[in-house]
């Protein structure tokens, strides 16, 4: 018997417009909102369909996971979409995230360089795989230490699916509230995934100037 489809909880939180011009938007995506429509008809509510009510030409050039909140860029025309897409492909876009992770991270900063592959037996999970995984690099820096958790600034050099979640698990400090890679104690320490896209910087396609948006976390 086929498993019933997963129905996404409908986020009641509004999308916040952080920046707007004739070519693009910078927005804050709430957690529990898909970036693009899901496959099931009841999972059509998402960031792009909501934005297209007021911005019919809005399109998606990158994504954040359902459970991740934070800043995204939304192109409003095809040339802008193509230009920003190339920047993502060339790894020219600069991104940073805030995360609350389990335990006290002792090193002030470091790198996690572990290849990631699909875990086909446990989809949609990913796994570390030295033989067949794609290269994945995450840089981290401690912002604040607490008794049972640490606030980190994360800078992913690559953009593999679930990269930050699985890398931090491998570091021994899973992200609080992560229902895929955290152990039970870390999962129970937060009401949501404590991962937020904080900054996004790239070359503006229209004028060639560097544009950087910031969206501080609310946790």
Domains in the chain (CATH in brackets) are 97-195 (3.30.2350.10)
Q: Read off the pLDDT of residues 108-139 as tens digits, 9 standing for 90 and up.
A: 999 999 999 999 999 899 999 999 999 999 99
The predicted model gives 32-36 an average pLDDT of 95
Active-site annotation holds for 65: yes
Catalytic residue among 22, 65, 148, 218: 65
Task: Quote the pTM value.
Answer: 0.94
- According to the model, what pLDDT value does residue 125 have? 94
Average pLDDT of the chain is 95
Give the model confidence (pLDDT) of 157-195 as tens digits: 999 999 999 999 999 999 999 999 999 999 999 999 999
The C-alpha atoms of residue 26 and residue 202 are separated, in whole angstroms, by 11
Is there a contact between 184 and 80 (Cβ–Cβ < 8 Å)?
A: no
Where are the strands (E) in the chain, listed by range?
Answer: 16-20, 24-29, 69-75, 94-102, 109-113, 116-118, 126-128, 137-145, 149-156, 195-203, 210-214
Taking alpha carbons only, the member of 98, 30, 32, 15 closest to residue 67 is 32
Identify whether the C-beta of residue 137 lies closer than 8 Å to the C-beta of residue 123: no
Residue 145 has pLDDT above 80, yes or no: yes
The pLDDT of residue 1 is above 60: no
User: End-to-end alpha-carbon separation of the chain, Å?
Assistant: 41
For residue 115, with 0-12 CB atoms within 10 Å meaning exposed, 13-18 middle and 19 or more buried, which class applies?
middle
Q: What is the pLDDT of residue 10?
A: 75
Integer angstrom CA distances of residue 65 from 25, 29, 32, 163: 19, 10, 9, 11
| pLDDT digits 0-9 by tens, 41-78 | 878 899 999 999 999 999 999 999 999 999 999 999 99
Q: What pLDDT score was predicted for residue 2?
A: 60
């Amino acid at each position: 018997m086929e498993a019933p489809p997963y129905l996404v909880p409908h986020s009641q939180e509004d999308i916040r417009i952080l920046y707007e011009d004739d070519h693009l938007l910078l927005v804050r995506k709430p957690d529990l909102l898909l970036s693009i429509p899901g496959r099931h008809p009841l999972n059509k509510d998402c960031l792009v369909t909501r934005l297209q009510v007021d911005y019919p030409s809005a399109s998606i050039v990158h994504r954040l996971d359902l459970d991740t909140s934070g800043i995204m860029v939304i192109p409003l025309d095809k040339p802008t979409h193509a230009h920003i897409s190339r920047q993502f492909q060339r790894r020219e876009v600069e991104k940073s995230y805030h995360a609350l992770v389990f335990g006290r991270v002792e090193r002030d900063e470091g790198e996690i360089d572990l290849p990631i592959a699909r875990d086909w037996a446990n989809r949609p999970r990913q796994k570390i795989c030295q033989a067949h995984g794609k290269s994945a690099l995450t840089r981290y820096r401690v912002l604040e230490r607490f008794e049972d958790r640490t606030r980190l600034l994360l800078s992913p050099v690559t953009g593999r699916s679930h990269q930050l979640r699985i890398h931090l698990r491998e570091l021994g400090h899973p992200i609080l509230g992560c229902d895929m890679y955290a152990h039970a104690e870390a999962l129970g320490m937060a009401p949501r995934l404590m991962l937020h896209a904080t900054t996004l910087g790239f070359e503006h396609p229209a004028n060639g100037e560097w544009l950087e948006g910031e969206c501080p976390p609310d946790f």
